[in-house]
Structure 1
Amino acid sequence: MNSLFTALIAKRIVATVSALLVIGIGCGAGIWQLGRADTKIALAASVLAKQQMPILNANTSPWTLEEASERRMIARGQYILESAIWLDNRPRPIPPAGSTNAQSGFYLMMPLRLEDRNEVLWVNRGWAPRNNENRETLPPVQTPNKVVNIEGIVFAQPGRVYELGGGNTSIDPGKPRIEQNFDLVAEGKLHGWQQSPFILREVETGIGDGLLREWTPLTIGVDRHYAYAFQWFALAFAGFLFWLLSGLRQYKRQGLVNGDQG
């Protein structure tokens, strides 16, 4: 046994340390991927539970983000069309069946002036495809010029994408506002109006306005995390197996050499 220990470890310090490093990295990364999957599942369960709670009404109370986050909410008011913001580089939430490429487009952020309240609520109305030939040619979207009732889910913000620089909050009345990201606090200061401390992501209600509201499920990507975890654990096992088999071969060769010498 001592001779086997010597052949596998004592005489192979570099190989043993390298194997331990590979095994440690593989197991650590695999556990991290499993943790990511568990986090997504727990988040989806939390959101689903909150959505089963009574629906909030934006017109009846000045809700805080803590009170309303991830809850269903209804609102009644009129859109402020001239203050719309088109968030660029947003992939279609759920690609069409059979498609392998994520189609790029916009999220349409539009303020809704709440009825009977001196308050504005920003609404993520949905997704629309981008014109690949001319970025400033906006997709045709219908916006009713009247008081509307909408329903959605409350979130802190519509999600962020990578952006070079700090963004531009200036307004050119002659051009549509196309931004990379949305800053709720900055918009409140820019317009000087009182607004809700969250956004409302509108849900699909059969309104034919040219926008898609098939939002990506929060559990999407869980299977990918499991697949990545399997790959990392397989790498760790392969590293251990290579270390063990190469050591046993070396031990066997040494035994044959010692036997020949004897």
Structure 2
Amino acid sequence: MKSSHHLFSTLIAKRAVATLSALLVIAIGCGAGAWQLRRAETKIALAANLAARQQMPILSANAGPWTLEEAGERRMTARGRYIPEAAIWLDNRPRPIPAGGTGNAAQAGFFVMMPFRLEGGNEVLWVNRGWAPRNNESRESLPPIETPTGLISIEGLVFAHPGKVYALGSEKSDIDPNKPRIAQNFDLEREGQLHGWSQAPFILRLEEMGVADGLLREWAPLTTGVDRHYAYAFQWFALAFAGFLFWLISGLRQYWRSNVARGQGE
């Protein structure tokens, strides 16, 4: 009993700072590891939901109007005309790399957001036409792309927005909405106010493949990065375990040294 009390005193009571530090490292490591696991589970669930909704009947934008709740993450067709003069080039977008594909994910470029006026009405559907590389020597120079003229049919997946990136400050207020421009993020509601358009409450991510228009549409699956989340979780849990081991081993060494000193003093 006396020995166990002495062990407790050596490990904890006499090492309050070391114990609190170890607890902090363990708490941070376990919390961050659990968060990474939740991120992985969320991506897997989103991918499963997306796959399920893609199996539902294909919607027609021209048969709308549709709400985001009705159309979100479903396949949709649309017939109409592009409005290229109002295109928005979303900057700092990494190149999409499909599962098992090749390419440099670190290569920055643009997502080309272009309004698409639906046939038979005045409603506009914003379309993410794909990714284009950025000119590293001249950031303001837009890469050449081909835009179909006249009435066409397109197909893609419905999303709430094209994804967001961190932006310093806000976009200039004195912009010409009828000229192509570079922006950091896309605000659907703001674009509707700038143009005075009746708009669908979502965007369509184009899924056309093999079209030589200068744009890449090999979209990465939603589960991209799951393995990375698991690796990060392992690292955080390993950090927590290492903190516990360091605290325990250093405390036991101190306990053994004190026992040797007590034995020599008797």
**TM-score normalized by the length of structure 2:** 0.92
Is 1:210 paired with 2:214?
yes
Q: 1:208 to 1:72 in 2, by over 3 A?
A: same
User: Secondary structure of 2:91's partner?
Assistant: strand
1:126-165 correspondence runs (5 A): 126-165=130-169
Task: State the partner residue of 1:97.
Answer: 102
Task: State the partner residue of 1:255.
Answer: 259
Is 1:44 paired with 2:19?
no
Shift of 1:98: 6.2
Task: State the partner residue of 1:74.
Answer: 77
Task: State the partner residue of 2:86.
Answer: 83
Gaps of at least 5 residues in structure 1 are none
Aligned residue among 224, 249, 259 for 1:245: 249
Read off the aligned partner of 1:113 and give its amino acid letter: R
What is the number of residues matched between the two proteins? Answer: 260
**Two-structure CA RMSD over aligned residues (Å):** 1.7
Rounded Cα–Cα distance in structure 2 between residues aligned with 1:244 and 1:136: 58
Kept in 1, the 8 Å contact 2:177–2:195? The answer is no
Is 1:10 paired with 2:7?
no
Read off the aligned partner of 1:151 and give its amino acid letter: E
User: Secondary structure of 2:6's partner?
Assistant: helix
1:177-216 correspondence runs (5 A): 177-216=181-220
Aligned residue among 102, 110, 114 for 1:110: 114
Rounded Cα–Cα distance in structure 1 between residues aligned with 2:19 and 2:141: 61
Kept in 1, the 8 Å contact 2:86–2:177? The answer is no
Task: State the partner residue of 1:28.
Answer: 31
Is 1:125 paired with 2:129?
yes
Please list the CA deviations of residues 3-39 of structure 1 after superposition, one character each: whole Å capped at 9, or x if unmatched. Answer: 2222212222221121111111111111111111111
Shift of 1:132: 1.6
User: Secondary structure of 1:246's partner?
Assistant: helix
Kept in 2, the 8 Å contact 1:37–1:222? The answer is yes
Ranges of 4+ aligned residues in structure 1 off by more than 4 Å: none
Kept in 2, the 8 Å contact 1:155–1:201? The answer is yes
**TM-score normalized by the length of structure 1:** 0.94
1:226-245 correspondence runs (5 A): 226-245=230-249
Aligned residue among 170, 176, 187 for 1:171: 176
User: Secondary structure of 2:62's partner?
Assistant: coil
Task: State the partner residue of 2:229.
Answer: 225
Read off the aligned partner of 1:9 and give its amino acid letter: I
Residues 54-63 or 78-87, more deviating = 78-87
User: Secondary structure of 1:59's partner?
Assistant: helix
Shift of 1:172: 7.3
Task: State the partner residue of 1:60.
Answer: 63
User: Secondary structure of 2:63's partner?
Assistant: coil
Q: 1:61 to 1:67 in 2, by over 3 A?
A: same
Read off the aligned partner of 2:47 and give its amino acid letter: A
User: Secondary structure of 2:262's partner?
Assistant: helix
Rounded Cα–Cα distance in structure 1 between residues aligned with 2:139 and 2:258: 70
Q: 1:249 to 1:50 in 2, by over 3 A?
A: same
Read off the aligned partner of 1:77 and give its amino acid letter: G
Shift of 1:189: 1.2
Gaps of at least 5 residues in structure 2 are none
